[in-house]
Structure formats: C-alpha cells, structure tokens
C-alpha cells in the first residue's frame, strides 16, 4: 500500500477534510495520529480507523500551544513508532468585515491557522531531519486571493503559503517536501450554518457547479504525501472546482 510503514499526523482530524484525510491515509496503509481539540471527535475517527483494521490514536491538541504540539509529536512517535507525514488541516474562522473585526478575533485566527501550522511544522521537521525524509502538506485556502469579511482568515492563509515556500527551501536538501493545498468551498460541517440560498449561489459561481467533497481534498493530500509527488515542493495547489479561474 502507498503508505505502508509510514506514520502520519493529521491536525483537525476530527471532522470534515481532516477526518477524510485521516481515513484516506489509514486506508493507504499509514498509522494515523488524529489531532483535534475535540476529544470525542478525534477518538471517533481513530476508533473508526481501528475498527476497519487500521492503526490510529487520538491526540487532544490545541495547535496554537507549543507544549501541546510537542507532547503530541512525542506521543505519536512513542505509540506509533515514528513520524513521516504531516497534514496541517486544523483551522478556524471568525468572520467580520475589517471595520468590525475585533483584536481578539484577529489574534485567535492567526494563532490557530498560522502559528499553529508553524509549530507543528517545527516540531515535525526535527524528527524528519534526523531521518532524512518527510512530507508536509499545509492548508491554505482560496481566500489567499482575498475574501470579503475574512481579513483575519485570508491573512492567516496567505501567511501559510509564505511559510510553506520558505520551509520548502530550507528543507529541500535533507529530502523533505513541503506543499500547500488551497481548498475552495467544501461540503464540511463548517458550511452547515450557511443558508441554502447562499450555498446555491456559491455553487453557481464554481465552474464545476458544486462544492468539493472532503474525500476529494483528502485525495490531493495523499498525492502530495506520496512518492508520486517526490519532485514537487513549495507549491500551492488549488482544489476549487475552477472557482479562481479568471479572477
């Protein structure tokens, strides 16, 4: 299998794209450390993987907290036997127009989405550098091109792109690839609160006329972490159904 004898961390793995990614990696043979701030959600995904014959643990980690990140990496290595693949999927939104955006909402989104991605990368790269191998995939967004009411979110995701490209340069010689995925509208719990008429308008604006399924983004994560993508690093891959074409 594609990820046989590999160990993966998937942050934000308790639902949505993270859940789909954790299950996809497990199906491809990886032992998976499912990270989430929601203990019940993380354990549900890890339990489902184990019930399907895979190997998985649930780690309760707030990625904005360095001590929790370091502890999660240490536990992953101790219980699963190593660390080879990382998908930084954890992220939050606190949407408001810039005029109304509070400092707390700015700080929280940047702490989780950008600082959290950096902390996980930093902790993981120390392990990957020692073994001369690793695959890191970070989560950006189509919002890097700007999105009304998401100054904090767009800034955090643009930062993720800059971080990704810098780490790709710093880690290329040791054989570690670092890439980013920019999902567009995806049918996840984050979209559950969006009114149906707005969902319909979003889908109408997408050339493929629908939102992505989480499994479709997970498939891109799997590709970028696989040997098929061994010569790809520092790239941002849009998974948006063509939504950004012509923008």
- Whether 244 maps to a domain, the answer reads no
**Please, which pLDDT band fits residue 247 given cuts at 50, 70 and 90?**
low
Is 45 domain-assigned?
yes
What CATH number has the domain bearing residue 25? 3.40.50.720
Q: Does 195 reside within a domain? A: yes
Higher local confidence (pLDDT), 13 or 207: 13
pLDDT in tens, 153-189: 999 999 999 999 999 999 999 999 999 999 987 888 8
Mean of pLDDT values over 217-230:
98
Q: Note whether residue 241 is domain-resident.
A: no
Position 221 pLDDT exceeds 90: yes
The answer to whether residue 231 is catalytic is no
Between residues 137 and 146, which one has the greater pLDDT? 137
70-85: pLDDT as tens digits: 999 999 999 999 999 9
Q: Indicate if the pLDDT at residue 246 is higher than 90.
A: no
Look at residue 245 and tell me if it is in a domain.
no
- Work out the percent of the chain whose per-residue pLDDT is above 90: 77
Examine residue 243 and state whether it is found in any structural domain, yes or no: no
Q: Which of 133, 153, 231, 238 is catalytic?
A: 153
Q: For residue 1, is it within any domain?
A: no
The verdict on residue 231 lying in a domain is yes
Domain span holding position 99: 7-236
**DSSP of the chain, one letter per residue?**
-TTTT-EEEETTTTSHHHHHHHHHHHHTT-EEEEEES-HHHHHHHHHHHHHTT--EEEEE--TT-HHHHHHHHHHHHHHHS---EEEE-------B-TTT--HHHHHHHHIIIIIHHHHHHHHHHHHHHHHT-EEEEEE--GGGG--TTBHHHHHHHHHHHHHHHHHHHHHTTTTEEEEEEEE-SB-SGGGTTS-HHHHHHHHHHSTTSSPBPHHHHHHHHHHHHSGGGTT--S-EEEESTTTTTT-
Mean of pLDDT over the chain = 94
The count of structural domains within the chain is 1
């Amino acid at each position: 299998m594609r990820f046989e004898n590999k160990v993966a961390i998937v942050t934000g793995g308790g639902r949505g794209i993270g859940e789909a990614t954790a299950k996809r990696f497990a199906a491809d043979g990886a032992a998976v450390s499912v990270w989430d701030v929601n203990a019940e959600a993380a354990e549900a995904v890890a339990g489902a993987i184990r019930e399907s014959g895979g190997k998985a643990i649930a780690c309760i980690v707030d990625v904005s907290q360095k001590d929790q990140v370091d502890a999660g990496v240490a536990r992953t290595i101790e219980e699963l036997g190593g660390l080879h693949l990382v998908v930084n999927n954890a992220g939050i939104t606190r949407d408001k127009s810039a005029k109304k955006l509070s400092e707390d909402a700015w700080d929280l989104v940047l702490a989780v989405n950008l600082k959290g991605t950096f902390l996980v990368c930093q902790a993981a790269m120390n392990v990957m550098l020692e073994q001369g191998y690793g695959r890191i995939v970070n989560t950006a967004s189509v919002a890097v091109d700007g999105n009304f009411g998401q100054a904090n979110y767009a800034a955090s995701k643009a930062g993720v792109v800059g971080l990704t490209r810098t780490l790709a340069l710093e880690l290329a010689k040791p054989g570690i690839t670092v890439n980013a995925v920019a999902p567009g509208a995806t049918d996840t719990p984050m979209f559950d609160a969006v009114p149906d008429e707005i969902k319909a308008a979003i889908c109408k604006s997408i050339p493929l006329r629908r939102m992505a399924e989480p499994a479709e983004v997970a498939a891109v994560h799997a590709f970028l972490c696989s040997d098929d993508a061994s010569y790809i690093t520092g790239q941002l891959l849009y998974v948006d159904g063509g939504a950004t074409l012509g923008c």
